[in-house]
Amino acid sequence: MNDPKEKFSEKLQAGLKAIYDAKYKDAIELLTEATELDPSSINAWYNLGKAYSSMDKCKQAIHCYTKTVELEETATNYYNLACEYYGCQEYEEAIKAYERATKLDKNYSLAFDGLGSSYGFLEDFDKAIEFYKKAHSLEEKNTKYLSHLGWALACNGEYEIAIMYLLKSLKMDPELTEALFNLGFSYYYINEYEKAIDEYQKAIKFGSESADLFVNIAYAYEELKEKEMACEFLKKAVDIDPYNIDNLFLLGANLQDLGKTEEAITVIRKIVDEKPTNLDAWRELGICYEMIQEFEEASKCFKHVIDIQNKSVRRQPTMKKPKLRETKIAKD
């Protein structure tokens, strides 16, 4: 086959099929050849970017999407570029591209939603709320936009208003798990712990299970003084994410409160096995051994504490409060 156009078409179609079959390495090879045969093909550059993105190769994907913008400055091309920057956690660059998309198409609700999410991850929640409201005004029945707006309001401490928007989104889609998660979070912070647990449980019912979700439920049970129930959910969180130091600390502390010292030792031992320089874990482990009168083991633990203190500045563990479900944006 000598005709360059036919060869280009063959490579492009084969590359598209490889993407469909999730054979991204093959797709990259084929689509790279297609872009070499026709460097002006937006379709080839876009799909090459898509293949790179699927393999988490951010820089290469951004390069491809930038090519599409250079070839044609459309709102869609800027939006795709912005989404890749967002996925690579380059939020400032994502904002620039989303803004360009909204200038080219003032009704591009997805781009306004992307702006809200980008500002949200930069913790500029006033801006996030502004852009989520804009997206919502363009598509009032879009449950995702309502949920994202509720997320930003909750992040901003506006829990009552957040609840209003989250309930509105759930009225339209009762199985929207991110809204259920964030509704539970919002109820927790206005001291409605039973309601928080109910919403979290609904999220579980509809298929959402994560360490963060189980920890949030445990926090609510702790506030209700139901430590046994809190313990059960902390165990579930650790089962899902067994190397999360914060959650291991929470479970260890809970077991100590319940008088289950030997179980607490097993849990805290996992922390020092994973991170031998964790001063606080060694201290807690020593306290546990003292409680069961194993003083020799306790002494060894406290010796580790002294050794670590002599070698480095003491660092406190990060004990997190209930988390919000992070917003996600969808590409065209």
| Tens of pLDDT, residues 63-107 | 999 999 999 999 999 999 999 999 999 999 999 999 999 999 999
Name, in order, each residue with C-beta under 8 angstroms of 95's C-beta and a sequence gap of 6 or more: 82, 115, 118, 119
- Looking at the structure of the chain, the number of domains it has is 1
Look-up of token digits 């260890």: 252
pTM of the predicted protein model? 0.84
Flag whether 12 is in a domain: yes
Flag whether 55 is in a domain: yes
- Cα distance between residue 293 and residue 281, in whole Å: 18
37 pLDDT higher than 70: yes
Flag whether 50 is in a domain: yes
322 pLDDT higher than 80: no
CATH of the domain at 59: 1.25.40.10
Flag whether 291 is in a domain: no
What single string gives the DSSP state of each residue in 185-218?
Answer: HHHHHTT-HHHHHHHHHHHHHTT---HHHHHHHH
Flag whether 258 is in a domain: no
pLDDT one-digit tens code per residue, 9-25: 999 999 999 999 999 99
Q: Assign 89 to helix, strand or coil.
A: coil
Per-residue pLDDT band at 2 (split at 50, 70, 90): low
Rg (Cα) of the chain, in Å, rounded? 25
Flag whether 85 is in a domain: no
Look-up of token digits 């209700």: 224
18 is in which domain, residue-wise?
1-72
- Cα distance between residue 236 and residue 255, in whole Å: 14
Flag whether 23 is in a domain: yes
Flag whether 161 is in a domain: no
Is residue 253 within a helix (H) or strand (E), and if so which, with residue range?
Answer: helix 245-257
